[in-house]
Amino acid sequence: MRWQGRRRSQNVEDRRGQQPQAASAGGGAIMLLLRFLPMLLRSKLGRIVLVVGVVAFIGARMMGIDLLSLGQQGGTIQRDSLNAEQQEMVDFVSVVLADTEDTWQATFESLGQTYQEPTLVLFSGMVQSACGTASSAAGPFYCPADQQLYLDLSFFQQLQQRHGAPGDFAQAYVIAHEVGHHVQNLLGISQRVHELSSGRSEAEVNELSVRQELQADCFAGMWGHAANVERQMLESGDLEEAMVAASAIGDDTLQREAGQAVVPDSFTHGTSAQRMQWFRRGFENGSLGACDTFSSL
């Protein structure tokens, strides 16, 4: 991909090095203090302890010490702490996200709507989202509750080493797919799928999930079309990289690799053939109309 030197999105949040937690140690201390505040106020000794604590807190703040941050684990990695390879990867995902913003802004404008840009959260190991706590093992995901994409960059190594799908456009496809889920959320498609899932059997719910995932693949292809035709970002072999990636993460392929029997009713993302088919369809047509995976419902 010809991505170097292009605009980087400002909607990237780097949480690598942070440990997911509902509240910081300082925040926990405050909650504990509030819990026992009535008890402290009832005794002379308690009131003395409370006053001493408040004075110590004010004094620390005057000295520039943030007691609320003490005990917190991890912290956001600063750009100057990244090595050259890490910095390049952050720049890459920022450029890809920015280009999806350009694509979908134009598409939404054609619909008379305004595209709300999502945030891409980079994390390592575990992450807390509005959809709950997730580990890297779950892979990249989109949380509609906070409209954020979550990505552990180590997934790209897995994509290459475990699934045999190397290349920067394969990585870009992964990001564009999750952005596709954000588009579905904005267009009300995700809510419609949720409504249709009510009262249905597990197999029927899985079928709806497959259709939703395949549409996200098609939307990723739409982005690829715009990046290629309008901005000439693609190079020879890039499309093949995305197709290999789409094939590698098909439900049937993953079940075979795990030594399991292929069970179509358990599919939630689609077969390798389906994922390649719908990505290519979006890539070749570049239109929302070409990505209707729900027409038979």
Distance CA 59, CA 63 (A): 6
Compute the half-sphere exposure of residue 163: CA atoms within 13 Å on the CB side of its CA. Answer: 27
Residue 191: which residues within 8 A CB-CB, separation 6 or more?
A: 185
pTM of the model as a whole: 0.80
pLDDT at residue 43, as a whole number: 55
Please report where in the chains the tokens 């889920």 appear, as a residue: 181
- Looking at per-residue pLDDT, the higher value among 14 and 75 belongs to 14
Q: Give the pair of three-digit tokens for residue 249.
A: 């993460």
Report residue 275 as tokens: 């994922």
pLDDT digits (tens, 9 = 90+) for 226-247: 999 999 999 999 999 999 999 9
**Would you call 127 helix, strand, or coil by DSSP?**
strand
pLDDT over 90, % of the chain: 74
Find all residues with CB under 8 Å of 254, minimum gap 6, and list them: none
Q: Are 239 and 169 in contact (CB under 8 A)?
A: yes
- Across the chain, mean pLDDT equals 85
Q: 75 in helix, strand or coil?
A: coil
Tokens of 206: 């899985």
Q: Which residue has the higher pLDDT, 215 or 26?
A: 215
Residue 133 reports pLDDT greater than 80 = yes
pLDDT the model gives residue 47: 55
> In this model, does residue 291 exceed pLDDT 90?
yes
Q: Tell me the pLDDT band of 86, cut-offs 50, 70 and 90.
A: confident
Q: What is the mean pLDDT of residues 207-226?
A: 98
> How far apart are the C-alpha atoms of 39 and 54, rounded to whole Å?
16
Query: What is the per-residue pLDDT across 235-283, written as a single tens digit (0 to 9) for each?
Result: 999 999 999 999 999 999 999 999 999 999 999 999 999 999 999 999 9
| Half-sphere exposure at residue 212, Cβ-oriented, CA atoms within 13 angstroms | 26
Six-digit token string for 87: 């910095």
Instruction: Compute how many other C-beta atoms are within 10 angstroms of the C-beta atom of residue 125.
Output: 15
Instruction: Tell me the pLDDT band of 84, cut-offs 50, 70 and 90.
Output: confident
Pairing label, strands 141-143, 148-151: antiparallel
pLDDT at 48: 57
